[in-house]
Amino acid sequence: MKELSPNWLTEGLIDFEYKKYILLAYLQGVKKEFCDKKLYPVFSDLLFHYKNLITLRNNKTLLHENFPKEISHADFEKLNIIYRELINDDHLMSELEEIMEFAVPHFENYLTEGKNIYEEVENCISITPIGLFSLNHEYGFLFFYVPPASEAKVYEYEITIFQNADEKYRGIHTHYLETVSKSRFETFESIKLSFVKKYVKYSNPAAYLIDSKIDYPFCESVFPIAKRMLVRHIHSQSS
C-alpha cells in the first residue's frame, strides 16, 4: 500500500490539487485494505494522520513549526544556515486551509469504516479459558482456532505494564510457538497439558482459546484485535 508521509501536508509543493492527488492515492490503498477486511497497520496509520491533521488545524503554532523552511543565506565557513520561514505567505496559508478542509472529512469517513470493520471482527471473536482456573493470568498460552480447521496456532503471552507520568497501561507481549493439529476427538485441555509439559518455564500457566466465527485475515485483523480483547479480559479478571 502507498504510504503517506507524516509531513505530507507541509512538505513539497503546497498546492491543493497536488495534495488532493497524494491524499486520494493513499486513501485508495486504505480502501483496498478495508475491502479485504485488513485493519492493521492501516487503521492505526489512518488515526495517526487524522490526529496530526486536527492538531495542526487547531494549533497555528504547531503549523508554524512544521512548515518547511527555505535557505535564504548560508555561511558555510561557520556552518551556519539561516532559514527564512515561508509561513507568512498568505497564498500558501490559504492553500493549506483548503487542503485541511478537504482532508478532514475524508479521514473521518475512513475512520468510521475502519471502526465498523473492527466491531465486526470483534463480534466474531470469542475468548474462553482452557482447563483449570489459574491464579495468575499474567502469562500463559493462546490457542487461535477457526472452526472447522484442523490446526491451531499456539502463542505464549505475557502481560506487560508500562506507565507515564499520569497512569499505568497494560500491554501484551506474544511469541509464536508452533502450529498444532487437532483431531475431532482431541480437546484443547489435553493439548494445553502437553504444552505445559513441553514448555516447563511456566508454573500453572493460564491458557485461552481464541476462535473466530469467520476466517478474517489473521495477522492484519484477528490477532491484533484478539490481543486487545484479551488484555481487557485479564484486566477485568484481576480488578
In a domain, 3, yes or no: no
DSSP 8-state code for residue 201: T
Among 68, 91, 123, the domain boundary falls at 123
Q: Provide the number of structural domains found in the chain.
A: 2
In a domain, 205, yes or no: yes
Give the tens place of pLDDT for each residue, 73-126.
555 444 444 445 555 667 778 888 899 999 999 999 999 999 999 999 999 999
Give the tens place of pLDDT for each residue, 170-193.
789 999 999 998 887 888 999 998
Say whether the peptide bond before residue 148 is cis (omega within 30 degrees of 0). yes
Residues 140 and 117 in one domain: no
The CA-atom distances, in angstroms, between 170 and each of 183, 224, 225, 235 are 35, 14, 15, 8
Contact 159, 139 (CB under 8 A): yes
Residues 139 and 52 in one domain: no
Task: Inform me whether the pLDDT recorded for 133 exceeds 80.
Answer: no
Catalogue the E-assigned strands of 29-183.
69-75, 80-85, 125-129, 139-145, 151-163, 168-181
Among 93, 123, 153, the domain boundary falls at 123
Residues 87 and 142 in one domain: no
Residues 96 and 144 in one domain: no
Q: Phi, psi at residue 13, to the nearest 5°?
A: -70, 125
Domain hosting 214: range is 130-238
Q: Phi, psi at residue 232, to the nearest 5°?
A: -65, -40
Residues 92 and 179 in one domain: no
Q: pTM above 0.75?
A: yes
Residues 64 and 110 in one domain: yes
